Amino acid sequence: MNNSAWGNRQKKVFRPVRLGHLTILTVSAMAMAQSANANAPNFADMSIEELANVQITSVSKKRESLADAPASIYVITNDDIRRSGATTLPEALRLAPNLQVAQASASGYGISARGQSGSSNGAPNKLLVLIDGRSVYTPLFSGVFWDVQDVMLEDVDRIEVISGPGGTLWGSNAVNGVINVITRSSKDTQGTLVAGSAGNHGGEGAFRQGGELGNGGAFRVYGKYSDHDDTKTASGSAVTDGWHKTQAGFRADWDGAQGKVAVMGNIYDANIGQPAPGAVNITGLTPTLGAISASGANLTADWTHRLEGGSSVNVQAYYDRTTRNVPPFFDETLDIVDLQLQHTLKPWGMHSVVWGGGFRHARDNVANGAIISFLPALANQNWTNIFAQDEMALRDDLRLIVGARVERNPYTGNEFLPNARLAWTPATGHLLWTAASRTVRAPSRLDVDLFFPSSGPPFILRGGPQVVSEVAKVYEIGYRGTISPKFSWSVTAFHNIYDNLQTQETDPSLTFVTLGSTMEGKATGVETWGSYQLTQDWRLSAGLTMLDEVLRLKPGSLAAANSPDISGRNPQHTWSLRSSWNVTPSCEFDLAVRRVAALTSPDVPAYTAVDARLGWKLRPDLQLAVVGQNLFGTQHGEFNPVATRSEIPTTVAVTLLWKF
């Protein structure tokens, strides 16, 4: 929120309300005896070998075992999320060792994979994010507004996190990774669920009700509310970035012998405090910032029809409307209609083919503010695509996967996104794979339509009509295996070659800075993680990423004095260690430690964060937990220059989960 009288009154009111609601909820829950209803699989009860064979869909757009997927993929399970104490989607994504998650403010996050965590405009834009198949990236800047991306975390089945290119199957923007959030069928969320948390920096409350429909169908409806306080700078000044958000939604599922149908929708409204910009590359700006107002609604329909012989057809369509007022910069209303078709053919001989296509239309209307303009203000844009991929069984233990996608965007026309992978299974439970891919990050409205005046030279930052797609050629080699019934391990080495990266080109007259495409570079690294089952009740998980990124301007570039050092926005290494211990059948203790190396642009010191959770199963249907984040140390910053950097504080909260 902000420093207005309304904002101050809100802070005085909400903290006792949070604690009061949780107290009433706890007393009510413990006073009522109801039976638990948990139909969905419990990942906590799975062995290391069973977890390795979890079914996934993001690598090849068809169901396959995690152990057989020739890609660098990590799966966050529902139980992982519960035991982490996460209350937001970005917090849950910290569990993936192949992601870099930096919290910039109370609600703002930068999330990336394999570097490239910021373009010259400062926002990560090479990661595709899906929620139940609905893309949540914005065509305004090819990134994600994480402050409004939310789901009922208790209803998440799993989050599949791919680090590496996914352009052949998922399209442009899937340059360095794909995050696919998959929620449970409503048949697995029957009954009533109440969840709440209250702590020293915020609170959450959620309610979900599931039931049956005719013709073998099922449904669920939910509502949730979040309220979080301001953070502070290192000097102790309030950043005025607190936020609150209300969201509701539904899902309905029908399963039959010939296929299945799912219909789902969400609606939300948020008020988000806007922290001061960390850096302005164009001088002379002293904006007065107001709170961001954001709202939206979406509706998705997904139909799968099983054909004779093992083939199937899937059609998904969705409508997504979002509004975002960011005073004094812009006020945007975005409407998106998306239609995707996929046909998985009956396997014949050595071939298993999946192909499809899609159409996407966006109507983006920006009411230009006092500082930033998008010219034209109204843009109607279309994207079309067609893709095919063939998985060939060369031998019983050797597969070759070859695919390509042609995608047409409104700025650069047709883009070609090929991919080839070779997967060798030398023994049961062991997979060696290698891949070569080409993918692109297509221009956005910010790259082409931006107009940003200033009071001093250079006077104007503007989009570049000659901006081309950023290109990545990626080479990977990896191993995934179950070394023993107690130990699983995955490791991937990668080498990315980038071309046409975004720059800010200064006109010789110092009148204009125009966005261009005159940077190239390389990124080489290793990412590895594993899990070890020490005892039946105690599991350890660890992860490590190492990155060496070198970027340089091409000959003739005019960007030397203006383009930020985007390579300095990525930590050269991160590591994490997570312990999950069932102390008794009714008591759990979870501990997570993560270390992030320093950034050089902006200058952010390295930090270590410790999170812990102690949970009790008071009854089969009632769980209580105490969660601490950023323990045993002073608050730390994760992004932005020190003068305006939000310091991430120590938080302690009590959480309640009641199913009946």
Q: Please answer whether residues 218 and 185 qualify as being in contact, where contact means their C-beta atoms are separated by less than 8 angstroms.
A: yes
Residue matched to tokens 């995050």: 179
Answer whether residue 28 is part of any domain. no
- CA–CA dist 537, 645 (Å, integer): 41
Tokens of 214: 């005719």
Answer whether residue 318 is part of any domain. yes
Picking from 127-136, 324-333, 375-384, 462-471, which range would have the lowest pLDDT averaged per residue? 462-471
Bigger pLDDT: 457 or 393?
Answer: 393
Domain with 397, as residue range(s), is 44-659
pLDDT in tens, 267-298: 999 999 987 664 444 445 556 678 999 999 99
Answer whether residue 29 is part of any domain. no
Picking from 206-215, 378-387, 474-483, 509-518, which range would have the lowest pLDDT averaged per residue? 509-518
Q: pLDDT at position 509, please?
A: 77
pLDDT average, residue stretch 546-562 = 83
Picking from 62-71, 448-457, 493-502, 590-599, which range would have the lowest pLDDT averaged per residue? 448-457
Q: How many CB atoms lie within 10 A of CB 104?
A: 22
Using DSSP's 3-state secondary structure scheme, residue 49 falls into: helix
Pick from 103, 219, 221, 97: nearest CA to 152? 221
Q: pLDDT at position 512, please?
A: 84
Q: Is the pLDDT of residue 428 over 70?
A: yes
Answer whether residue 21 is part of any domain. no
Q: Is the pLDDT of residue 8 over 50?
A: no
Q: How many CB atoms lie within 10 A of CB 504?
A: 22
Q: pLDDT at position 84, please?
A: 96
Quote helix, strand, coil % in the chain, to nearest 5.
Answer: 10, 55, 35
Bigger pLDDT: 452 or 84?
Answer: 84
Tally of domains in the chain: 1
Bigger pLDDT: 52 or 387?
Answer: 387
Answer whether residue 5 is part of any domain. no
Pick from 585, 576, 489: nearest CA to 536? 585
Q: pLDDT at position 19, please?
A: 39
Q: pLDDT at position 460, please?
A: 80
Q: Please answer whether residues 283 and 242 qualify as being in contact, where contact means their C-beta atoms are separated by less than 8 angstroms.
A: no
CATH of the domain at 257: 2.40.170.20
Q: Is the pLDDT of residue 18 over 60?
A: no
Pick from 206, 103, 212: nearest CA to 156? 206
- CA–CA dist 175, 96 (Å, integer): 18
- CA–CA dist 216, 218 (Å, integer): 7
Kindly indicate the confidence band of residue 568, based on its pLDDT and cuts at 50, 70 and 90. low
pLDDT in tens, 526-542: 999 999 999 999 999 99
- CA–CA dist 460, 510 (Å, integer): 9
Q: Please answer whether residues 301 and 313 qualify as being in contact, where contact means their C-beta atoms are separated by less than 8 angstroms.
A: no
Q: Is the pLDDT of residue 22 over 50?
A: no
Answer whether residue 651 is part of any domain. yes
pLDDT average, residue stretch 494-499 = 98
Distances (CA, A) of 175 to 78, 171, 225, 473, 474: 26, 9, 33, 9, 9
Answer whether residue 26 is part of any domain. no
pLDDT average, residue stretch 175-188 = 97
Residue matched to tokens 């003739």: 556
Q: Is the pLDDT of residue 557 over 90?
A: no
Q: Is the pLDDT of residue 140 over 70?
A: yes
Answer whether residue 316 is part of any domain. yes
Task: Give the helix/strand (H/E) hosting 263.
Answer: strand 259-272
Pick from 177, 112, 147: nearest CA to 567? 112
Averaged confidence pLDDT in the chain: 89
Kindly indicate the confidence band of residue 602, based on its pLDDT and cuts at 50, 70 and 90. confident
Q: Quote the pTM value.
A: 0.91
Q: How many CB atoms lie within 10 A of CB 446?
A: 24
